[in-house]
Amino acid sequence: MRQIPMTRSCPFSPPDGATDEELGKVRLGTGDEIWYVTRHDLVRQMFGDTRFSSEVDGGAQGMPLHQAEPQPGMFIQMDPPRHTRLRRMLTGRFTLQRVNRLRPRIEQIVADQLDHVEKQPRPVDLVEHFALPVPSLVICELLGVPYAERETFQVASARLLDQNVSREEAEEAMGGFGVFLLELIAAKRARPGEGLLDDLLAGTDLTDEEVAGIAVLLLIAGHETTANMLGLGTLLLLQRPGQLALVRDDPEVAKTAVDEMLRYLSVVDSLLMRRASQDLDLGGTTIPEGDFITASLAAANRDPALCENPDDLDVTRPRTHHVAFGFGPHQCLGQNLARMELEIAYPALLRRLPGLRLAVPLEEVPTRDDMLVYGVHRLEVTW
């Protein structure tokens, strides 16, 4: 039985072998055998059916899969009605209308960070000085978390997403993160401020532990995925000068470009695990009750049934029904915010630094094959 595909011979393609089979069994590094689905319509069917339970823990290296009782606030690992209760409290905060109000502030954050980049000695690591700070600043301001504390959640999230950490190391990282957030929440209870966490504490019946769990999810999801899209997406455009010029010079193309790059790169691939709560049919195959299943979002987004020439990057391609943000009740809550950050950041970066280029050969750019969210560890550039 083959292992779950992880390594990528091309930094911009799905993991090697991910598209070999539409639905079959694979083995995790832990030895767990799980179902693995890659066909676009089957991926949507699986994620859209809550009978494929989200109450699952583990899946990374050294962490065997098992059915789990979710921690307070961890709605990504909850099924309805618990998931519905928490998600409903947050959905209104991330509508397109609400996110649009943040545009001027995001534009200012991007501009300020580019000022910082220009002051650095070259070559500059664009991950450290641009791709990571921009979404971290945005999510900190949105939630009401001091940006000075960013190292706490950046280090914790890196540990939690590292496929090589042990269960003990992951639990230690999560424990420290939880203590930090509970202390922050206690301070907010005593002296309320402005931010989504303050609003949840004042306007809901959530416990401190539930608010802390929500904060863990939003802080990690709010900076990890966008940061990796900024880094890897910039690397991709530097390899496609014609596409880069369209993103840089045409404001309308920036919107379609972001959606196309989300589809094309799929930085979140096989992170999302499910468990069949009963015998379930998926494309004519029975997934027995209790079996675990995951999907390759990267492979599903290269399905020829989704769009023509799916292995080609076309920044003018009309929006597709890709699954880069997942699908169904658990579809990424912050996708409108992520899109806006990317739509602002890519053109601003390319216009401010028109001579932007890699400072090292492409093959020397370290990719995140060891992480559950794909991207680049560093991106050394000059101009």
113 token code pair: 């960070």
Per-position pLDDT tens, the chain of length 383? 678 887 888 999 999 988 889 999 998 877 889 999 999 999 999 999 999 999 998 655 455 677 878 899 999 999 999 999 999 999 998 999 999 999 999 999 999 999 999 999 999 999 999 999 999 999 999 999 999 988 888 888 888 888 888 878 888 888 999 999 999 999 999 999 989 999 999 989 999 999 999 999 999 998 999 999 999 999 999 999 999 999 999 989 988 999 999 999 999 998 889 999 999 999 999 999 999 999 999 999 999 999 999 999 999 999 999 999 999 999 999 999 999 999 999 999 999 999 999 999 999 999 999 899 999 999 999 99
Provide CATH code, domain 23-382: 1.10.630.10
Distances (CA, A) of 210 to 200, 201, 255: 10, 10, 35
To the nearest 10 degrees (0 to 180), the angle between helices 167-190 and 196-203 is 70
Token pair 């802080």 is found at 219
Cis peptide bond upstream of 123, omega within 30: yes
* Residue-level pLDDT at 58: 67
* Residue-level pLDDT at 235: 98
* Residue-level pLDDT at 375: 97
**∠289-272-16 over CA atoms, to 5°?**
105
* Residue-level pLDDT at 60: 54
* Residue-level pLDDT at 214: 96
256 token code pair: 């379609």
pTM higher than the cut 0.85 = yes
Contact 343, 102 (CB under 8 A): no
* Residue-level pLDDT at 64: 66
* Residue-level pLDDT at 164: 83
Cis peptide bond upstream of 288, omega within 30: no
